[in-house]
Chains A and B, each alone.
Chain A
Amino acid sequence: MPDLTAKKKRPLWYNLSPLNLPLPGLVSILHRVSGAMLFLGLIGFLLLLDMSLASESGYAQVGEWVRAPIVKLLVIASIWGLLHHLCAGIRHLFLDIDIGTSLHAARRSAFAVFVVSLLMATSIAVRIW
């Protein structure tokens, strides 16, 4: 039977939904999302640093805040964001100097970014909870 489908140039449709992205694409968009998160979180970092260094009572106050579950969740989210951004950024620096640019290596390093940042975030989360 002749192959009729191969004759016509079919339009390509790319499903760009994050759920459908290959792993390096997911690392990439999360690099951007975590970066934006860290930008928004900047005021929180500064606030905690300011208070913790201002006085003994400020330091104690920060310690008390950080014990509240909602703040703990925010801190853990920030730590994950920071770790993901850091790991994905280091991967990016290697790609910039042409290390790991093959499809296979890029997928493996993307996987490594997830494994390392999630494992480290989880271990810190367990410790501070």
Chain B
Amino acid sequence: MVNRIIVGAHYGLKDWLAQRVTALVMIAYTVLFLAVWPRPMSYAAWKALFAHGWMQFATFLLVASVLIHAWIGMRNIWMDYVKHTGLRLALQVATILWLVGCAGWAMQIIWR
């Protein structure tokens, strides 16, 4: 570890790790999706794919991973470029609300 003054805060290791773990989940989902992608494609086959319990389970994990991954990435972008504290806070809060809302929407799509 780099020598730093102890202030009792965490140094972002959890976020760094979460970014990597969620990335691995998304890579795994990509591989799964390419393997089970219906050929030939039709509405019935597409619908049947997402009716499987394991597909819903996997897709839910994907949604959760995207939520966390996109939050950390967007937070980093806001932290790097938006210097005004109030504006940055507003953008970060908006990002969280948007992502949580999208995750809810995605869950509704998966378990219709």
Contacts and interface: CB of A to CB of B under 8 A. Distances in A.
B87 interface: no
A50 B109 contact: yes
Given A39-B74, A43-B102, A90-B27, A53 B46 contact: yes
Categorize the interface residue count of chain B.
Answer: 10 to 19
Contacts of A86: 27, 30
B96 interface: no
A36 B72 CA distance: 11
Secondary structure at the A interface, as helix, strand, loop or mixed, is: helix
A10 B25 CA distance: 48
A36 B76 CA distance: 11
B93 interface: no
Interface in A25-83: 32, 35-36, 38-39, 42-43, 46, 49-50, 52-54, 56, 59-60
Interface string B70-91: 1001100100000000000000
Secondary structure at the B interface, as helix, strand, loop or mixed, is: helix
B46 A52 contact: yes
A35 B76 CA distance: 11
Contact of B70 (A39, A43, A56, A90): A39
Contacts of A43: 102
Interface of A: 32, 35-36, 38-39, 42-43, 46, 49-50, 52-54, 56, 59-60, 86, 89-90, 93, 96
A-B pairs, top 3 by smallest CB distance, nearest first, are A59-B43, A35-B73, A50-B109
Given A59-B46, A93-B20, 8 more contacts: A36-B74, A39-B70, A39-B73, A43-B102, A49-B109, A53-B112, A89-B27, A93-B23
